[in-house]
Structure 1
Amino acid sequence: MIRDYLVLLSWLCAVQGKIGYFWHITDIHYDPRYSTQANANACWNTRNGVNSGRKTPGEFGDYACDSPWALVESAASAMTSNRGEGIKFVLWTGDALTRTTGMNVELRLQCLRNLTDLLSRTFKEQFVFPALGHDDIGVNFSQLAEIWQHWLPQEALDTFKTAGYYTIEQRSEKYRIIFLNTNLWLNTADSRMLHRSSGSMIDNAHDPFEQWSWFQKTLETARRKKETVYIVGHTPPGIDDRESGAAVLSERHNTKYLQVIRLYSDIIRGQFFGHWHTDTFRVVYSDTGLPVSWIMMAPSISPSTPGGPNNPGLRLYKFETTTGQVLDYTQYYLNLPDANSIGTANWLPEYSLLEYYELQEITAIALHDLADRFTQFNDYAFVRYYAANTVSLPREVEQIWGCGGPLNGVCALHHYCTVTRLNPESYRECYSSYAFALSSTGPSTPRLYFSLLVLLVCAELLRNR
């Protein structure tokens, strides 16, 4: 009896030992010149002086400004207090620096050193793995490699110094993480501008800095070694869910990326990106229309974005370390007006993915079904998604910036198409065909038309309860 108990206990410990966690932080956009004095804060004066309703910006930030140091420090503290143990690594997916102009190279380097030092003190026993964002420009690869060399092994530094991409192989656990430099795949004009400012040139439009060749070779190596893979980058494929129809990756590279994901979907356990600043996801489909992979986009720490504001967010993933299978995540957020009002940053859990959307697992099929629920008349999935999308932004702020909210059928349609159509042409076809149906009164109106109409009524009733 005792022996059986010990065997069971040993088995339970082994299972528990397979569970790990990792943080995903993105789009910090640290602004060293942020000031709580309105007359000294250029960002607040030029972008928010009328709409804020306050005479001075808050200590922890403003919906029209990039992140002050107080906000960044509070995020680091929140990650320590909410999960200090069991963290295997941290994904940091770029855009560390403010988007405002006028920062010279030395100031940019100093800001990156300050952020790196903060994260190093926060995660003394873990590695932080950075990916380059399009606003991390003006500093060349070698300078960045010097700042981050204590986190990256030599093999990773070798490719990072040359082109800004690298891979981390977790040999004992049989999974690897591939970090892409998505700046190389931006629309041509943007890509050339970024790399001119970084002191590097792109001489091969089809395979800039040979990232495609390296990417596929790395995936082939993983398949041969029977490893599973995470793919990490800053700018994801697909369409912006906040600015209708906007795409950032060039059409050629966007298409090729989706082709590669389809080809290696059997070993890919997750894709993690930032850039949009919103809480959203994407589903990748096979050539025959079957869901084969998924992409998660974490919301930003910065409360500001050209497409509209959001509350600051942090994301904690739970995963099985031996297989790389993502089991769940907890989204944390900061209610920015409350933090500024009381002078304390109380980061709180916003939701758990499985519980929030009533999912049993995180798979491409499960997320496809969730997106399909956006169109169902008897399901509140889109109402929940829309609230999470801006990280529980206060309603009075969302009404100014939003696309109409969950009570707007066109808004629901736009989000449905961005989640399920990951290239500009297919997005336009999805949006235009159903938008026509929404405006049609003919007898052949498809199911989505009826579903969205009833969704509007249900959401209105839910809001007024």
Structure 2
Amino acid sequence: MVIAAPTPTHLEKRGWVLDKLRPLFTKAVQTLECGACVAAVNGVKDVAKINKGWVSSVAKELCPSLAKFPADVCNGIVDLYGPVVIDIIMKADISGGDGKIICHAVGGICPAPAITSGTLTFPKPKPVNAAPPAHSGNQVDVLHLSDWHVDELYTPGSDAVCNRPTCCRKYTDSPTTFTRAAASWGDYNCDTPVKLTQDLLKHVPTVANVSFAIMTGDVPPHDIWHETKETVDPIEAHAYSVMASLPAKIYPTVGNHESGPASLFPTPSSGGDNSWLYASLADDWSRWLPADAVNSVKNYGAYTVSPTPGFRIISLNTNFCYSTNFYLYADTHDYDPHGEIQWLISQLQAAEDAGERVWIISHVGPSMADCLQNWSALYYQVIQRYSPHVIAEQFYGHTHRDEFALFYGPGSKNTQNAISTAWIGPSVTPFTGLNPGFRVYKVDTKSWNVFDSQTYIANLDQAASWDASGSSPNWHLEYSARKAYGAYVPIADNAPLSASWWHNVTMVFEKNDAAFQQYWTYRGKSANLQGDCAAGSTCQTELICNLRAGKSSDACTPSKINGHKKRHDEADDVEDPSGLHSLYKRADPQTWDKKLCGLSF
């Protein structure tokens, strides 16, 4: 007689899954080895084939110990991201190479795969001796806002040093005695209080006669464990209504936090639907955009607009290159989701034919390590084809820092070959140890080139004294790029801050430590909380390399994430030009484990 084996109980099944996945996850997080990461992803796929719910259940159990998060954060992240991540892993060919691609792009663990996106074909060849137009000599002020990250739950007097990704809120387990109480104007560990955004907008007209503004993305806060359509929609609507107090049009772009859950933007290959987001943004932005641009936003967030004859702004949704957009791994050979690169080419060709000058604005910069390399390589070809005669400037956000990146024509990275500058705007949010800030550009009205970049900040270390005295933030000019770096690389009055000039500035950084340290200070918006980056150090070498890396495959980043072994004085954030390291430079030692749980800018 055959005796049937007993059916495993739920607890026995759960125990089997936990025993299978715990060592895989633990080894991947502790060793940060490529093979260990791929094995962990493969383990998820194996278990998900049996029961997807088991994967989520085990992830919730392991997250607090591996990621050092409270249970509510872990549960929220798993509930929001788990279903998407599991479905995408089920579609991916993990053993066939997708596992290494995922582990490199999301975790920075495996070596970068070969770039396979190929060579683009353009409608017309680049004109011989293509050159930008002459300058008019007339300049206007243009405001650059970025990474708003307003927190409507910000609570003055709450704990500013907490056990969650973002602090300055009332949590159910908040202690009664704090390390530091949050000032009403903000804190370096926290996102932006509403009153700080309102005060910033009141100050802007006192220092600039703004012709128009660009806003390079990220309105909601960093509470990704409960960012959903229902939570982000009203935050964005309110924030854009606050921005509307500025007496000038604002041309926005889509940040990774605009979506709920954050960073998840479906593609035609992946399934999923973000039409609610694009419809909502189209409505929020309709106060500034014409009808044709509003209709374009409804497709996937990109649009083009002409603020004045002869000048065009193209707003891209670069979340389709963003490494933490898990939808991208449903088809790793879909190098141009939604055909956005091809759409960009069509817009630039039309601009070339019409003799227009173009600005490209977006959130995640193609130079950043968290922009997928295949997409970035295609984009770089577009910049080479249409610069410098069509594309006047590029503008991004995302890192929260005051930075730039350079693009070059075919051949060497030298002064003669530098063709385009990516201006990476400072954040409004102080989150990650930075002073809140904004930029004002002095721009020629014919060439639409930048003649000066002026960064304004408020010294948030004085926030408690503002509260005590009943005063407001001390918004002030931190520096003028033309004046600060023109002292090292002289520039004629009638010349813009060109890519060639910026390349020469980076050459000075290599030889003149005083100049480099000045840049290092300004990069952190003079908060002086980013540690040291000494002359001759790997930190300095990698940072200067990243300034010359217009495409992500040129970024000087290590093959493995080892930031979890470092502390503040080692300036570990420069290993990742996306700025993700800086997310973890906090009073607590939690570091890259957070990225492995999906937390990102």
* TM-score normalised by structure 2 residue count: 0.60
CA separation in 1, counterparts of 2:556 and 2:523? 21
- 2:372 is matched with which residue: 205, 225, 250? 250
Identify the residue that residue 311 of structure 2 maps to in structure 1: 175
CA separation in 2, counterparts of 1:372 and 1:129? 34
Identify the residue that residue 412 of structure 1 maps to in structure 2: 540
Aligned ranges for residues 149-228 of structure 1 at < 5 Å?
149-172=286-309, 174-187=310-323, 190-192=325-327, 205-228=334-357
Identify the residue that residue 391 of structure 1 maps to in structure 2: 525
* Cα shift at 1:202: 9.1
Aligned ranges for residues 98-137 of structure 1 at < 5 Å?
98-100=221-223, 101-123=225-247, 126-137=248-259
* Cα shift at 1:262: 0.7
Identify the residue that residue 157 of structure 2 maps to in structure 1: 37
Identify the residue that residue 100 of structure 2 maps to in structure 1: none
CA separation in 2, counterparts of 1:228 and 1:127? 19
* Cα shift at 1:76: 1.0
Among all aligned residue pairs of Structure 1 and Structure 2, give the percentage whose two residues are the same amino acid. 26
Identify the residue that residue 442 of structure 2 maps to in structure 1: 318
* More displaced stretch, 209-218 vs 98-107: 98-107
> What letter corresponds to residue 294 of structure 1 in structure 2?
T
Say which SS state the counterpart of residue 181 (structure 2) adopts.
coil
Say which SS state the counterpart of residue 44 (structure 1) adopts.
coil
CA separation in 1, counterparts of 2:552 and 2:431? 25
Say which SS state the counterpart of residue 430 (structure 2) adopts.
coil
Q: Are 2:452 and 2:482, in contact at CA under 8 Å, matched by a contact in 1?
A: yes
Identify the residue that residue 304 of structure 1 maps to in structure 2: 431
* More displaced stretch, 215-224 vs 57-66: 57-66
- Residues 182-223 of structure 1, C-alpha deviations (whole Å, 9 max, x = no match): 112223x615189xxxxxx99982321121111000000000
Q: 1:141 and 1:46, CA in 2 relative to 1: closer, same or farther beyond 3 A?
A: closer
For structure 1, the 5+ residue unaligned runs are 1-13, 195-200, 240-246, 433-465
Identify the residue that residue 19 of structure 1 maps to in structure 2: 139
Say which SS state the counterpart of residue 312 (structure 2) adopts.
strand
CA separation in 1, counterparts of 2:498 and 2:168? 45
- 2:215 is matched with which residue: 74, 87, 92? 92
Say which SS state the counterpart of residue 555 (structure 2) adopts.
helix
Identify the residue that residue 27 of structure 2 maps to in structure 1: none
- 1:291 is matched with which residue: 396, 418, 435? 418
* More displaced stretch, 91-100 vs 38-47: 38-47
> What letter corresponds to residue 342 of structure 2 in structure 1?
S
> What letter corresponds to residue 144 of structure 2 in structure 1?
H
* Cα shift at 1:171: 4.6
Aligned ranges for residues 340-419 of structure 1 at < 5 Å?
340-343=464-467, 344-358=472-486, 359-360=490-491, 361-377=496-512, 380-394=514-528, 398=529, 401-402=530-531, 404-407=532-535, 409-419=537-547
CA separation in 1, counterparts of 2:543 and 2:140? 31
* Cα shift at 1:408: 6.1
Q: Are 1:386 and 1:406, in contact at CA under 8 Å, matched by a contact in 2?
A: no
* Cα shift at 1:37: 2.8
Q: Are 2:216 and 2:252, in contact at CA under 8 Å, matched by a contact in 1?
A: yes
Q: Are 2:384 and 2:408, in contact at CA under 8 Å, matched by a contact in 1?
A: yes
Identify the residue that residue 555 of structure 2 maps to in structure 1: 427
Say which SS state the counterpart of residue 419 (structure 2) adopts.
strand
- 1:66 is matched with which residue: 159, 166, 191? 191
Say which SS state the counterpart of residue 143 (structure 1) adopts.
helix
Say which SS state the counterpart of residue 122 (structure 1) adopts.
coil
Say which SS state the counterpart of residue 135 (structure 1) adopts.
helix
> What letter corresponds to residue 303 of structure 2 in structure 1?
Y
Q: Are 2:363 and 2:397, in contact at CA under 8 Å, matched by a contact in 1?
A: yes
Mark the structure with the bigger radius of gyration: 2
Identify the residue that residue 201 of structure 2 maps to in structure 1: 76
Give aligned pairs, total: 387
Say which SS state the counterpart of residue 453 (structure 2) adopts.
strand
CA separation in 2, counterparts of 1:45 and 1:113? 22
Q: 1:53 and 1:316, CA in 2 relative to 1: closer, same or farther beyond 3 A?
A: farther
RMSD across aligned C-alpha pairs, in angstroms? 2.9
CA separation in 1, counterparts of 2:474 and 2:554? 41
Q: Are 2:542 and 2:556, in contact at CA under 8 Å, matched by a contact in 1?
A: no
* Cα shift at 1:322: 2.1
Aligned ranges for residues 453-464 of structure 1 at < 5 Å?
none
Q: 1:364 and 1:110, CA in 2 relative to 1: closer, same or farther beyond 3 A?
A: same
* Cα shift at 1:89: 1.0
Q: Are 2:147 and 2:219, in contact at CA under 8 Å, matched by a contact in 1?
A: yes
> What letter corresponds to residue 291 of structure 1 in structure 2?
A
* TM-score normalised by structure 1 residue count: 0.77
Say which SS state the counterpart of residue 357 (structure 1) adopts.
helix
Identify the residue that residue 446 of structure 1 maps to in structure 2: none
- 1:277 is matched with which residue: 383, 390, 400? 400
> What letter corresponds to residue 77 of structure 1 in structure 2?
K
